């Protein structure tokens, strides 16, 4: 069998290197066309991989080669349903972002020129870093060796740092540095636990960093809890969760819309993915022990993120705080330790990626046209840009989990799982539904409806390229809202395997693959 996962990693990485070396005149459209072509090729190959995936077959497309024998490190790749869904999300959003960010690597003109200073590097570098980020993110979700995962985990920081620092807003250097510091601190804390696992593994025999070996390692209770804490802190920063979330609104405020999509819709999923793959997979006892504390943090994130979002005047910061709330729901679904919550959390990772990508891109089109991200600078835009207003409405309704749109199924299952865990926990999480309606509908009302304000009159509607970029995301949001079966079919066996390892019987009422609800 062909090494499909290696191919998926290498195509965008080699494409990024080739793009950096590609000849062409400054201002040429060739670099962006090349980058879009590479991302589309990666998407086609990912579809081939997904089509050949057996939902009940466990980890597939497995590759395992000894890498550093003395450490027990392997170049090992493989995907179950959880990893595959995030690889598909990455490959899907990359070309969407490329097309939506067609001119974002260039110097801005007109009203948009006040948003960001002159880029530090060329558009060639802008798209090369995006391709590199796609390849590294696929590597994170496919790695089945802890050292390999850690290498990819840390390497993803490099493209995002340069994308923010090179093409961000006027305070881009500070935002990029804050992001890097938070991420590096989390990575170093996790590294201590990685080293600790090596010590534990060496005690049992030849050391190994394969996740399959670590999952069966006999670790003492105290050691397991300390090692769990190192991983959880790193993943909580990445997710992000309260109180280690403050880097996110600063970063998204300064980043381009496309960079924000790559960061929030893809890279931040590493945090929740890591909680499932490593916290639950390697430290089941410690995960159960920490559940009450984690659920409290998740509930705080849910309510805090929603409340702060309501008070935001900056559109990008508002979306960032909505994500803090949504990630709280994802973490809640993971740690209630039942099939409904777990499937809901995994669905939420995918569906949040779609809805947040739509929000960032549509509002990015709006902000670029006006030259301002402040809600108070808009009004009556639907009168001059009805297509933009319509897409913003659908994106917003998706973010607040309107029935019929894909996030609803995810949020409903998480809340069902929360009710099964504790009625009090669910009761504390449910107000997020009302708060979500407030922050989304207030933002839409203040920007799109009412009298047409003077500075909004010059806003033009979306061009065909922008509509084409956002269309696949919108189609999936509607399609998966009515028919979540393609995702639930893939996720259910992986969720059952995770819960069985933690000690929860998957014989509990399963999630219906057709309806996305309890049977």
pLDDT top residue among 504 and 282 = 282
C-alpha distances (whole Å) from 338 to each of 180, 314, 359, 363, 421 are: 35, 37, 30, 36, 8
Question: pLDDT per residue over 291-303, tens digit each?
Answer: 999 999 999 999 9
Before 59, cis peptide (omega within 30)?
Answer: no
Please state, in angstroms and rounded to a whole number, the distance separating the CA atoms of residues 299 and 303.
Answer: 6
Question: pLDDT per residue over 365-395, tens digit each?
Answer: 999 888 889 999 898 999 999 999 999 999 9
CB proximity list for 346: less than 8 A, separation 6 or greater? 81, 82, 85, 276, 333, 491, 494, 495
Residue range 330-352: mean pLDDT, rounded:
94
Question: pLDDT per residue over 229-281, tens digit each?
Answer: 999 999 999 989 999 999 999 999 999 999 999 999 999 999 999 999 999 99
102-106, 137-141, 326-330: lowest mean pLDDT where?
102-106
Say if residue 193's pLDDT is above 70.
Answer: yes
- Tokens 């639950």 sit on residue: 280
Are the beta carbons of 506 and 496 closer than 8 angstroms?
A: yes
Q: Could you tell me the two tokens for 450?
A: 């009412």
- Tokens 């390692």 sit on residue: 217
Query: Please, which contacts does 465-468 make with residues 24 or more away whose CB atoms are closer than 8 Å?
Result: 465/99, 465/102, 466/100, 466/365, 467/387, 467/391, 468/99
């Amino acid at each position: 069998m062909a090494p499909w996962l290696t191919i998926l990693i290498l195509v965008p990485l080699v494409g990024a290197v080739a793009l950096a070396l590609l000849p062409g005149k400054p201002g040429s459209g060739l670099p962006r066309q090349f980058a879009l072509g590479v991302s589309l090729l990666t998407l086609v190959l990912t579809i081939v991989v997904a089509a050949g995936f057996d939902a009940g077959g466990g980890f597939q497309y497995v590759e395992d080669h000894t890498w550093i024998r003395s450490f027990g490190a392997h170049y090992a790749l493989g995907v179950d349903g959880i990893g595959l869904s995030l690889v598909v999300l990455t490959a899907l959003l990359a070309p969407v972002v490329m097309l939506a960010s067609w001119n974002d690597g260039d110097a801005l003109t007109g009203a948009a020129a006040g948003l960001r200073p002159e880029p530090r590097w060329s558009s060639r570098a802008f798209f090369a870093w995006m391709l590199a980020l796609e390849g590294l993110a696929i590597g994170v979700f496919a790695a089945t060796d802890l050292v390999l995962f850690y290498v990819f985990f840390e390497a993803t920081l490099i493209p995002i740092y340069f994308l923010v620092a090179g093409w961000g807003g006027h305070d881009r250097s500070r935002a990029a540095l804050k992001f890097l510091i938070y991420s590096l601190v989390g990575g170093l804390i996790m590294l201590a636990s990685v080293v600790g696992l090596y010590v534990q593994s060496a005690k049992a025999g030849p050391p190994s960093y394969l996740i399959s070996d670590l999952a069966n390692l006999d670790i003492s209770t105290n050691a397991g809890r300390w090692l769990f804490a190192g991983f959880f802190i790193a993943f909580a920063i990445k997710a992000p969760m309260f109180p280690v979330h403050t880097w996110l609104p600063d970063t998204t405020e300064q980043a381009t819309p496309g960079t924000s999509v790559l960061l929030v819709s893809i890279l931040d999923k590493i945090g929740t993915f890591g909680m499932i793959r490593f916290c639950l997979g390697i430290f089941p006892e410690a995960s159960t022990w920490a559940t009450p504390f984690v659920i409290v943090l998740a509930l705080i994130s849910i309510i805090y993120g929603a409340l702060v979002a309501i008070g935001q005047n900056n559109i990008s910061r508002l979306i960032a705080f909505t994500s803090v709330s949504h990630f709280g729901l994802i973490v809640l679904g993971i740690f209630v330790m039942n099939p409904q919550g777990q499937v809901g959390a995994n669905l939420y990772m995918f569906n949040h990626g779609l809805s947040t990508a739509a929000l960032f891109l549509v509002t990015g089109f709006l902000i670029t046209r006006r030259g301002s991200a402040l809600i108070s600078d808009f009004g009556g835009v639907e009168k001059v840009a009805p297509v933009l207003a319509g897409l913003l409405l659908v994106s917003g309704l998706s973010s607040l989990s309107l029935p019929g749109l894909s996030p609803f199924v995810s949020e409903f299952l998480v809340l069902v799982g929360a009710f099964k865990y504790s009625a009090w926990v669910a009761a504390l999480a449910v107000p997020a539904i009302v708060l979500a309606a407030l922050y989304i509908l207030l933002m839409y009302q203040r920007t799109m409806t009412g009298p047409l304000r003077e500075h909004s009159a010059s806003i033009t509607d979306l061009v065909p390229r922008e509509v084409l970029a956002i269309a696949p995301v919108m189609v999936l949001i509607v399609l998966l809202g009515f028919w979540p079966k393609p995702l639930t079919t893939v996720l259910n066996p992986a969720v059952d395997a995770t819960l069985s390892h933690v000690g929860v019987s998957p014989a509990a009422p399963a999630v219906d693959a057709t309806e996305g609800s309890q049977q």
